[in-house]
Structure 1
């Protein structure tokens, strides 16, 4: 008999996760200024979402995405100063026991291993508490730095999808990388 997992309950009990440098926690309207700082930046938003031109765009995004359905969605807060510098989410497909990770980070904090640190914590949650069999992420082939984050998470390339979607009026090719529970266990053997 297969074990039944209440994914919503597990995610609800794990809305606050801590790493050495970071607090992963729900995004609230109080984060609007911090989020607007990077959501209004064309370079940061290029591969992720439409640029926010007004603080109201950011508030609407927070209300419609993070507050409306908060489970598995986290603000990335620096413990040292309480600043919210990005977001990361774990989108669970309960039927197939897999999840997709997505993330964005204020460019002032790129290159510091922050997304990899947050991502490892979500992958650990996925495998150790949600009993997932695979976690994956995808990135626009024109954004190889996002793929480097996935490499740091132990993800391996699984495929390339040419003409996967239209993104901001451009045909985008996606690269998919993933990690299985077995790969995760092998990486974390003592």
Structure 2
């Protein structure tokens, strides 16, 4: 079985992931209002993408970004209320055994540990089931909150990409952080001891 087919199968078998307080699941059009709540909030979107201007725009973005190609993309739902509070994804490069994770979280839910909990589940999926050698993420140098999420996952700063891309009309520099399979496995053994 080719690596790409294996990856797709693992992701298809793991479209629903449960953590202590969260359910990671496919995003649907029924989530439009919850997604719009944070996608239209300039505090939430400042370092990510232009804020959505209408429910119709959010609905179209859900169709294009989540429904059209859903594997590895998750809505983050609170178990206790069923509310979708953000999204996270894992983008696998089968050729080199790596993946990049990304995320967005409604600013009303910042500071509760939800994003480290959600993305830790993606690290586990990546290292235990996809047999990846490294997982990385980037964040705008001005977005210290995102950097703290990565630090909680033991993702070490690997470098700075100056003038990396244009976001929201500004040229931004990105910090890249990563964790290797061997480091993640060692941390799991330490935590389970």
- TM-score range normalised by the length of the shorter chain: over 0.9
- CA distance in 1 between counterparts of 2:37 and 2:168 reads 21
Matching residue of 1:154: 154
1:21-170 equivalences under 5 Å are: 21-170=21-170
3-state DSSP of counterpart to 2:61: helix
Question: Between Structure 1 and Structure 2, how many residues are aligned?
Answer: 188
Q: Deviations over 1:107-166 (max 9, x none)?
A: 110001100000100000000000000000000001111000000011000000111111
CA deviation after TM superposition for structure 1 residue 168, in Å:
1.7
Could you tell me the TM-score, scaled by structure 2's length? Answer: 0.96
- CA distance in 1 between counterparts of 2:29 and 2:2 reads 34
3-state DSSP of counterpart to 1:56: helix
3-state DSSP of counterpart to 2:117: helix
- Segments of 4+ moved more than 2 angstroms: none
- CA distance in 1 between counterparts of 2:107 and 2:39 reads 10
- Per mean C-alpha deviation after superposition, the further-off stretch among 71-80 and 49-58 is 49-58
Q: Deviations over 1:151-185 (max 9, x none)?
A: 00110000001111111221100000000000100
CA deviation after TM superposition for structure 1 residue 77, in Å:
0.1
CA deviation after TM superposition for structure 1 residue 48, in Å:
1.1
1:171 is the counterpart of 2:193? no
3-state DSSP of counterpart to 1:49: coil
- CA distance in 2 between counterparts of 1:16 and 1:169 reads 35
- Per mean C-alpha deviation after superposition, the further-off stretch among 140-149 and 161-170 is 161-170
3-state DSSP of counterpart to 2:62: helix
CA deviation after TM superposition for structure 1 residue 86, in Å:
0.2
| Structure 2: stretches of 5+ with no match in the other structure | none
Could you tell me the TM-score, scaled by structure 1's length? Answer: 0.97
CA deviation after TM superposition for structure 1 residue 4, in Å:
5.0
3-state DSSP of counterpart to 2:38: helix
Give the structure with the larger helix fraction. 2
| Structure 1: stretches of 5+ with no match in the other structure | none
